[in-house]
Structure 1
Amino acid sequence: MIPNALILSLIARQSLEAELVDQLSELADYPLFLVSNLRGHNDTHHGLSVAEQVEGTAPLIRMSLFTDEATANRIIDHLRAYFSNAGIRWWRIPVESGLIE
């Protein structure tokens, strides 16, 4: 059990996946996270190919980490410094967890 557990979710361009995985593996106290492939809609066409602009979506990933508040803060601070202007969105959600045996 992790006291004050939360899920930290990051949304980023697919091209950042390998670098984010490397960074998070070193930063997270509990380096278990999930990566999902997504297609995202927004009003920003920066960095999109012509086909993606026509389609109106961009290939994205969502990384979800089960962690604690201190680690989440450390990760967010690191991302701000290391991935400045990368357009990574994040949110965190408090979690209650347990094990049903």
Structure 2
Amino acid sequence: MDNEVLLTLSIRPAQADALTDWLLQQDLPGFTSWQGWGHGNRHHGLSLAEQIQGKQKRTLIGLHLPQSQVHQLLALLKQTFCHCDLHYWLQPLLAFGHLGKTD
């Protein structure tokens, strides 16, 4: 059995619709998105307001999939979204599933 991983993508909100539309066209089981803030000492590409606040609004997208599919998906993302400010990270999943009724 293939190990499952959690792939988290972080992108600027203005670019998020294009990414979510693209992900919906892929053969994926689904994903979750939410709003967050990116913090760091990198100032390249930040507006003056973001530099002063020390944070940047981000859309985060999480999906879990077999580890064997991740590198192909990342290669496609890199090719398709090379012009975007897209950051990612991978985490192994110890367990996952549904609790309760799933109609």
Q: Aligning the two structures, in what range does the TM-score lie when normalised by the shorter sequence?
A: 0.7 to 0.9
Aligned to 1:90: 88
How many residues align structurally? 99
Cα gap change, 1:28/1:89 in structure 2, threshold over 3 Å: closer, same or farther? farther
Aligned to 1:77: 75
Q: Letter of the aligned partner of 2:48 in structure 1?
A: V
Moved over 3 A (4+): 98-101
Higher alpha-carbon deviation: 79-88 or 4-13: 79-88
Q: Unmatched 5+ residue regions in structure 2?
A: none
Q: Unmatched 5+ residue regions in structure 1?
A: none
Cα gap change, 1:88/1:19 in structure 2, threshold over 3 Å: closer, same or farther? same
1:99, distance to aligned residue in structure 2 (A)? 4.9
Aligned to 1:66: 64
Aligned to 2:26: 27
SS of residue matched to 1:46: coil
Tell whether 2:46 aligns with 1:53: no
Percent identity of the aligned residues?
25
